[in-house]
Structure 1
Amino acid sequence: MAEVFSPITRQVTKENREIGTYSVDIPLEDVEDCIIYDRHGVSIPFKKLHQDRKSVIIFVRNFLCYSCKEYVEDLSKIPKEALEDADIRLVVIGQSAHHHIEPFCSLTGYPHEMYVDPERCIYQKLGMKREERFTDSAHPSPHVKSGMFMGQMKSIWRAMTSPVFDFQGDLHQQGGAIIAGPGPQVHFSHFDTNRLDHMPINWLLQLAGVQQTLDFSDKPKIIHV
């Protein structure tokens, strides 16, 4: 059984991932009525995602971004049973048109909830960063396996071969993650500074109350017989 941490209630960066008991200054009330869309184009207010239960909400850059794709591929490995046992929702939000959700879920194998915020209402009101900032002390995402050059080539190829040629979101917008609910309470937040600045998934799950540590490595497993 994985060690269960007390909820982190502060912004955590790659340079400073400490367990603490600080208040999170995230104006969730400002975005409660922002409209998001599901894969069928059905609209709901953002507050529906965290009104009744705790939710881990991941904001991605754009659906063509190779690092977002590989991050969501690892999110797809989270068993539904682990989320149900902890009584939490896992939600990914992108910033493209809704018709890109289905192909992206098929591409990544992602089986959980996904919505889009095409006007970037939530991104902007929460203050998520635009442009990228890299620092020497930043640790790259453990969930991104491709190098930057090859990753960008893959993204360009996907854009060129897509039935609808667009960039599936603002290329300069960065993402992030929050743990919120029930209600407007925010337990944790992390806003990415660049495409590799993802919050490690096991950290997020443990902070939300999932008592299971998952292996996201691509290394072959050794079975002792």
Structure 2
Amino acid sequence: MSFSPSELPTKAQLDAAKHLSVQDERGDEVPFASLVDGQKVVVIFIRHFFCGLCMDYLSFLSAHLSPALLAEHSTKLVVIGCGSPSFITPYRTRLEFPFDVYADPDKKVYHALGMTRRTLEMGDKAPEYLKSGMLGNVFGSIMSALRFGRVASPGDMKQVGGEFVFDKAGEPVWCHRMEHTRDHAPLRELMDAAGIPYSGP
């Protein structure tokens, strides 16, 4: 299948993804199927762990989407990055992020679900979640690199991610694949797809 920003994964793609694993903060293998089967799940694929744009998105999301609100709607949220699992704990700590984060260093799940685009293009429009402007995000990414260190890889700098909503049966019901580095899904669209009321602007 050629790249599509919104076409749902095929059965073959989904089966392939569910036979793969991601890694938790200890580096232990976690089957991707175990993350998406059994309850409604929102999965957010970020870029590399130093990306200030993705940090802005997750901070914006955390401000509008609390664990209590997710629990009220029987929904789980997980984040997957394409770098080393050694970055997960400092990443969550820096963002004060209350949701689970996993790593897919080889980007196998990304590719299985159709996130094959690699780019450094920024797109024409600044998104709602952007906090500090492009220079601020470049500086933030550099500061993240200095704080986290470079012992392991933070991930592919050109890889872009996306957002998926899975139903209780583990079937994807909505998706948005990023076309450029500032192209995370608008939060209202994501929450509407997950059946969660959005109270933001």
TM-score, L = length of structure 2: 0.87
**Which residue of structure 2 lines up, in the alignment, with residue 36 of structure 1?**
22
Question: Which amino acid is the alignment partner of residue 169 of structure 1?
Answer: G
Q: CA-to-partner distance for each residue in 1:163-213, whole Å, 9 max, x for gaps?
A: 345550000100101111323411111111111111012321121011242
CA contact (8 A) 1:28 1:184 kept: no
Equivalent position to 1:196, from 176, 182, 185: 182
CA-CA distance at 1:126 after TM superposition: 2.0
Question: Which amino acid is the alignment partner of residue 48 of structure 1?
Answer: S
SS in structure 2 at match of 1:76: helix
Query: Aligned partners of 2:9, 2:98: CA distance in 1, in Å?
Result: 31
The ranges of structure 1 where at least 4 consecutive aligned residues each deviate by more than 4 angstroms after the TM superposition are 133-136
Any gaps of 5 or more consecutive residues in structure 1? Answer: 1-9, 13-22, 216-225
RMSD across aligned C-alpha pairs, in angstroms?
2.0
Structural mapping, 1:1-225, within 5 Å: 11-12=5-6, 24-26=8-10, 27-77=13-63, 78-128=65-115, 129-136=117-124, 139-214=125-200
Normalized per residue, the structure richer in helix is 2
SS in structure 2 at match of 1:189: strand
Deviates more, 1:60-69 or 1:162-171: 162-171
Q: CA-to-partner distance for each residue in 1:120-159, whole Å, 9 max, x for gaps?
A: 11112222111144554xx432111122123112212321
Paired residues in the alignment total 194
SS in structure 2 at match of 1:171: coil
Q: 1:161 to 1:106 in 2, by over 3 A?
A: closer
CA contact (8 A) 2:122 2:181 kept: no
**Which residue of structure 2 lines up, in the alignment, with residue 6 of structure 1?**
none
SS in structure 2 at match of 1:56: strand
CA contact (8 A) 1:159 1:165 kept: no
CA contact (8 A) 1:159 1:166 kept: no
**Which residue of structure 2 lines up, in the alignment, with residue 17 of structure 1?**
none
CA contact (8 A) 1:11 1:188 kept: no
Query: Aligned partners of 1:135, 1:154: CA distance in 2, in Å?
Result: 19
SS in structure 1 at match of 2:102: strand
Q: CA-to-partner distance for each residue in 1:104-131, whole Å, 9 max, x for gaps?
A: 1111111011111111111122221111
Q: 1:209 to 1:41 in 2, by over 3 A?
A: same
CA-CA distance at 1:49 after TM superposition: 1.1
